[in-house]
Amino acid sequence: MKTDRILSILFILPSFILVGIFIYGFIGWTGWVSMVNWRDVFPDFTFVGLRNYARLFQHFRFVISMKNTLVFTVLFLLSSISIGLLLAILLDRKVRFEGFFRTVYLFPMAVSFVVTGVVWRWILNPGTGGESVGLNWMLEKIGLGFLKSGWYTDPNIGIKAVVIAAVWQMSGYVMALYLAGIRSIPTELYEAAQLDGANVFQLYKHIVLPLLRPVTLSAVIILGHISLKIFDLVFAMTGSGIGFSCDVPALFMYDTTFRGNYFSQGAAIAVILLLCVAVLIVPYLTYSIRTEVRR
C-alpha cells in the first residue's frame, strides 16, 4: 500500500517538476528580469526596481498597443459570441444538412493563425492606385461599394481589420460551444414550456438563454485569453501596422526583446500581459474547481 503511494508520486513527479520550472520558475525569472537593467545582448542584473514599468507606461507604443488590445477584445468577443449564438440557435431549428453547415463553420479552427493571417492579408489588400482588389472589389461588384476601405492600411481602422480574420477563425468554435449547450438542455423543459403556451421567442428568452449563461462565461474566458495574448495572427497579417495602428502587447514584447535586445523592458511587458490574463483566469479557475469539489 505504501509502495503504491510512492509510485503514484513518482508518476506525477516529472510533470510536476517540469511545470514547476518551466511555468512557475520561469514566470518568477521573468519577473526578476523585468526589475533589472538588462538592455543589451549581454545580461546585466543590476536591480532597478520598477523603473522599467514606469518607463513602459510613458512609452507611446505601449499605450497604443494596450488600447488596441482593448478595442480588439471588445469587438472580437461581441462579434464572435453573437455570431456563434445566432448560428447555434439557427442550427438547432431542425435544419437540413446540419452536419454540412457545422463542418463549414468550424473548420477555420483547424487552421493555423499564420495561415489565416497570410490569406486575410491578401483578401483585405486595398490595392494601389485607386484600383479595387480583394474584398473591396467584391463589395463593389455586389453593390456595397460604400463599404470599401483601406482595412489594415488605414490607421483609423487598423486593428479592427484584424478582428475580421479573428472572428472568421473563432466564431465557429463559439457556435460549437453553444450548440453543445443547447443540446444538453433536457427536452422536458421545452415540452413543459410549450404546454404553458410559450411561443418560440419566449422559449428562447426564458428557458434557453438563461440556461446558456455558463456557456457564455466559458466563451468569454476562452476568447478573452486568446484575445489578450494574440500574436501570430497580427504578426502574419499586418505586423504592427501604420503608426502602430495594429500593434498589440505580445508583438511589442517580441520586438522589444528579440529584435531590440531590450530584455528587461520586454519582461515588463510580459508581466503586465500575464497579470491581465490572471485577472480573468484565476477567479474563473478558483470558481470552477470549488463548484466541482462541492458536486
Partner 1 sequence: MRLSRFFLYLVLIIFVLFYLMPVYVLVVTSFKSFKEISLRTMWIPPKEISFSSFVRAWYGDKSKGLRGLSGNFMNSVYLTVPATLISSILGSMNGYVLTKWKFKRANLVFALLLFGMFIPYQSILIPLVQVLQKTKLYGTIPGLILVHCVYGIPITTLIFRNYYSTIPSDIVEAAKIDGAGFVKIFVRVLLPLSGPAFAVTAIWQFTSIWNDFLFGLVVTPNPSVQPITVALNNLAGSYFVEWNVQMAGALITAFPTLIVYIFLGKLFMRGLLSGSLSGM
- Stretch binding partner 1 (CB under 8 A), from 55-63, 71-79, 150-158, 231-239: 231-239
Alpha helices in the chain (DSSP H): 2-19, 26-33, 51-58, 60-91, 98-106, 113-123, 134-141, 159-183, 187-195, 200-203, 209-211, 213-228, 232-237, 249-254, 263-294
**Longest Cα–Cα distance in the chain:** 78
142 is a site residue for partner 1 (CB under 8 A): no
153 is a site residue for partner 1 (CB under 8 A): no
- Stretch binding partner 1 (CB under 8 A), from 58-66, 67-75, 90-98, 189-197: 90-98
109 is a site residue for partner 1 (CB under 8 A): yes
241 is a site residue for partner 1 (CB under 8 A): no
Nearer to partner 1, 15 or 58 (CB): 15
138 is a site residue for partner 1 (CB under 8 A): yes
What is the footprint of partner 1 within residues 47-86 (CB under 8 A)?
Answer: 83, 86
Give the bridge partners for 283, in sequence order.
none
Nearer to partner 1, 60 or 96 (CB): 96
261 is a site residue for partner 1 (CB under 8 A): no
Rounded Cα–Cα distance for residues 223 and 158 (Å): 20
What is the footprint of partner 1 within residues 179-198 (CB under 8 A)?
Answer: 180
Q: Which residues of 146-165 are buried (b: 16+ CB within 10 A; e: fewer)?
A: eebbbbbbeeebbbbbbbbb
